[in-house]
Structure 1
Amino acid sequence: MTTLRDIARESGYSKTSVWLALKESPKIPEDTRIRIRQIADALGYVPNAAYKHMLKQVRAGKEISYRSTVALIHCFDIPDPEERNPFHRELVNGAHSQAKALGYEVETFWAKQPKMRGKRLSQIIESRGIKGVVVMPMETHQTIDLDWEKFAAVTIGHTLTKPRLNLVETNNQQAMALCLKKLHEKGYRKIGVVMRPDHEDYRRYSLSVPYLWLQSQLPKDERSEVFMIDPSDPSSFIDWYESNKFEAIVTTHTYVVDWLKQCGYRVPEDVGIVFPTPVYEYTDFARVNQTPYKIGMAIIDMLDAQLGRAEFGCPVNPKVAYTDVDWVEGPSLTEIEPKGDAPIMHSLFLHRDG
């Protein structure tokens, strides 16, 4: 089956230009539209009938009827992770909502079901007539051995290590920059960051970038590195905290709060706390909402676009789409008197606050 990618390769134009030309967009010069149509005809290109039907319905303001089913694949150790994991539940809800709006039904598949292998899972999905696949985020780095050439596939986050697919990811740099901005506004200047190594690895080290930039603007004797926490060694964290006398801590792990309280430190009287990533304890604390519902919607939009362009298999140059985060106030921070000046990350602080 001829795809837009084939026409683009043959004509020398981008896929976007080919798509616009075939829909008779005035943004493409007429002679170019004619040339692209001729190449498409020569290659035997047949437009996606379901996609054309959907566009007609949208333009007519009608409710979109059923088009096809998409698969949500998850690799948790339990069959229904959304029942225990609020973040995953919101991802799924967002995906279902947007799928329904676009005329899709959603079917969930558990890749870790006993005796399930990639080949068998591919056969099951294909037998249902499913062409679109969403790989949900996982608890650890994993691979899935599907027959990828048969599917238009996308994923959420970076936990799928092979193959590399187009993906949607939270804007983690914005999340950290927003935490630092809010702390700065409340008067905090001596700020520490604590993370688990695997948390940063899953996010391609994007959380630490704004903080390290901020530290680079300070005198060398005032700089602090990101503290990589060892959940089995609370004493090393307490030693680090007490030797630096931080006014506030940005952390991805709730262990930090427990250890501070066990040592007699009060939040926020002695130290402010903010979470830049999802947590399931201390949910009333100041934090970043990574808007998983919107991520679920965005991943369906990305898949829908690939299905419309008949893009199957693994992309040569995978794309990443970022979703913005929101700020949530909480009693773990308070207003304090600033101690001296500190650099403000003007460029990073231009992100919307949510």
Structure 2
Amino acid sequence: MKRQISQRDLARLAGVSPMTVSLALRGHPSISTETRARITSLAGKHHYRPDPALAALNAWRIKDSAARFQGTLAWVTSFATRDAWRDMIQTKGYHQGACARADQLGYRIEEFWINEPGLTPKRATQILLARGVRGLVIAPLPEAHGRIDLDWEHFSAVALGYSLAEPKLHVVMNHQFRNMKQVVERLHGLGYRRIGFAMPSANDERVDHNYLGGFWIAQQALAQPGATTGGAAGKTKATGEGGGEGQLPTLLAERFDQETFLPWFRQAKPDAIVVAASTAHQVRDWLKEQGLRVPRDVGLAVASVPWQDTTISGIDEDVPAIGAHAVETVVGMIHRNEQGVPPRPLSLLVEGIWAAGKTVRKIR
């Protein structure tokens, strides 16, 4: 049986040290592009495969030790101004988690504003490469169907969420569809039967309509006789109340304000409303102005609890963990020498957990 080629064998064939081979195969910026390409080509030609036992041993050896500096990752934003992304509370949490995990792995994260006036895709690529950046975390974009132009073949990249339409990269995000289903099921388990859905249309569009899809599927399932919901709230059998009269008209508004929300609320008469994280406190204030108290008169829940908010009921996606997983994905790609737009993009979707909050109550 033919012996598998090792990194030491590759070093002899390439005329470099074993350390250079190791760094090159991990895409380390200290190794020139030409040398990395030559070593990668040799590895492919001779069918080199990493030894999983040695990789596991190495991971065990370094997990509790201070990580040596490995390189720089870029946090790429695409808003109208350099710091506008900081107005998105969840994105700030993603960034914090990304920075913390990068530091643990020996990387640092630099912010990179792709919409800098006069910055062309070619110039942006040159700047990133000059800074030794090989990995990119694409922050959520301000609108759906976004596009970012770079010479992607130089970078290992992952997108946070679905707002980036072109190119189609690997995605890391909370499981928006299942999180929304869980919200509806939890509300039903608490006794709510007229569950409404009201949010800006842009919010649902930015998540590829996973919110509306999850809401509809959950409502349809609860409309089936004998369906049960449960969790911490306890199991409840649906008797058809979740469907029929309980299926209310949804509100997806391009302009989401009081003038749009209140007529819908008066017509639909929901006993609980699923809203966007960014509008939850606003909606609660609108209801208060109408003499309605949350949760005494109406429940309020979200599919993604605002970062560091302990008031709003809904799904805790562990916001910093999403950013941390994005960094782990990019670093893994760097180590495997995977650059460019993937032929088959993968999605890492993180399940959330129910956070009781203070805006719903058990009513049955």
**What pairs with 1:226-237 in structure 2 (closer than 5 Å)?**
226-231=250-255, 234-237=258-261
**What pairs with 1:213-252 in structure 2 (closer than 5 Å)?**
213-216=217-220, 217=223, 218=240, 219-231=243-255, 234-252=258-276
C-alpha change, 1:281 and 1:152, in structure 2 (3 Å) is closer
What residue in structure 1 maps to residue 61 of structure 2? 60
**What pairs with 1:281-296 in structure 2 (closer than 5 Å)?**
284-296=311-323
- Distance (Å, rounded) in 1 between the aligned partners of 2:94 and 2:143: 17
When normalised by structure 2's length, the TM-score is 0.73
- Distance (Å, rounded) in 1 between the aligned partners of 2:275 and 2:56: 45
Match of 2:346 among 302, 319, 341: 319
- The DSSP-based 3-state class of the residue aligned with 1:131 is strand
**1:55: Cα distance to partner?**
6.5
Q: Indicate the percent of aligned positions where both proteins have the same amino acid.
A: 26
What residue in structure 1 maps to residue 180 of structure 2? 176
- Distance (Å, rounded) in 2 between the aligned partners of 1:151 and 1:232: 38
- The DSSP-based 3-state class of the residue aligned with 1:96 is helix
C-alpha change, 1:105 and 1:234, in structure 2 (3 Å) is closer
For the Cα contact (< 8 Å) 2:316–2:354, is it kept in 1?
yes
Residue identity in the other structure for 2:289: Q
For the Cα contact (< 8 Å) 1:82–1:92, is it kept in 2?
no
For the Cα contact (< 8 Å) 2:301–2:359, is it kept in 1?
yes
**1:329: Cα distance to partner?**
2.3
**What pairs with 1:153-172 in structure 2 (closer than 5 Å)?**
153-172=157-176
Bigger CA drift: 211-220 or 86-95?
A: 211-220
When normalised by structure 1's length, the TM-score is 0.75
What residue in structure 2 maps to residue 330 of structure 1? 357
- The DSSP-based 3-state class of the residue aligned with 2:159 is strand
C-alpha change, 1:146 and 1:278, in structure 2 (3 Å) is farther
For the Cα contact (< 8 Å) 1:168–1:320, is it kept in 2?
yes
Residue 325 (structure 2) pairs with residue 298 (structure 1): yes
For the Cα contact (< 8 Å) 1:54–1:64, is it kept in 2?
no
Once the two structures are superposed, residues 117-172 of structure 1 have per-residue CA deviations (whole angstroms, 9 ceiling, x without a partner) of 22111000111222111111111132111000111111100111211101101111
**1:322: Cα distance to partner?**
0.5
Residue identity in the other structure for 1:110: W
Match of 1:43 among 37, 42, 45: 45
Match of 1:103 among 98, 102, 106: 106
For the Cα contact (< 8 Å) 2:195–2:271, is it kept in 1?
yes
- Distance (Å, rounded) in 1 between the aligned partners of 2:291 and 2:142: 33
**1:228: Cα distance to partner?**
1.2
Bigger CA drift: 55-64 or 206-215?
A: 55-64
C-alpha change, 1:230 and 1:295, in structure 2 (3 Å) is same
Gaps in structure 1 of 5+ consecutive residues: 1-21, 23-38, 338-354
**1:184: Cα distance to partner?**
2.2
**1:305: Cα distance to partner?**
1.7
Residue identity in the other structure for 1:163: P
- Distance (Å, rounded) in 1 between the aligned partners of 2:206 and 2:85: 20
What residue in structure 2 maps to residue 201 of structure 1? 205
Residue identity in the other structure for 1:321: L
What residue in structure 1 maps to residue 6 of structure 2? none
What residue in structure 2 maps to residue 17 of structure 1? none
C-alpha change, 1:282 and 1:88, in structure 2 (3 Å) is closer
**What pairs with 1:86-125 in structure 2 (closer than 5 Å)?**
86-125=89-128
C-alpha change, 1:244 and 1:81, in structure 2 (3 Å) is closer
What residue in structure 2 maps to residue 257 of structure 1? 284
C-alpha change, 1:264 and 1:105, in structure 2 (3 Å) is same
Residue identity in the other structure for 2:194: K
Residue identity in the other structure for 1:184: H
- Distance (Å, rounded) in 1 between the aligned partners of 2:321 and 2:308: 22
For the Cα contact (< 8 Å) 1:168–1:299, is it kept in 2?
yes
- Distance (Å, rounded) in 2 between the aligned partners of 1:97 and 1:108: 14
- Distance (Å, rounded) in 1 between the aligned partners of 2:351 and 2:187: 19
**1:320: Cα distance to partner?**
0.6
How many equivalent pairs are there?
298
Once the two structures are superposed, residues 184-225 of structure 1 have per-residue CA deviations (whole angstroms, 9 ceiling, x without a partner) of 232212211112111111111111223212333245454224
Residue identity in the other structure for 1:256: V
- Distance (Å, rounded) in 2 between the aligned partners of 1:180 and 1:156: 25
Residue identity in the other structure for 1:122: T
- The DSSP-based 3-state class of the residue aligned with 2:162 is coil
**1:81: Cα distance to partner?**
4.6
Bigger CA drift: 190-199 or 86-95?
A: 86-95
C-alpha change, 1:88 and 1:56, in structure 2 (3 Å) is same
**1:279: Cα distance to partner?**
4.6
Bigger CA drift: 317-326 or 278-287?
A: 278-287
For the Cα contact (< 8 Å) 2:143–2:163, is it kept in 1?
yes
Once the two structures are superposed, residues 18-76 of structure 1 have per-residue CA deviations (whole angstroms, 9 ceiling, x without a partner) of xxxx9xxxxxxxxxxxxxxxx9767156789xx99987643324433122221111112
Bigger CA drift: 275-284 or 223-232?
A: 275-284
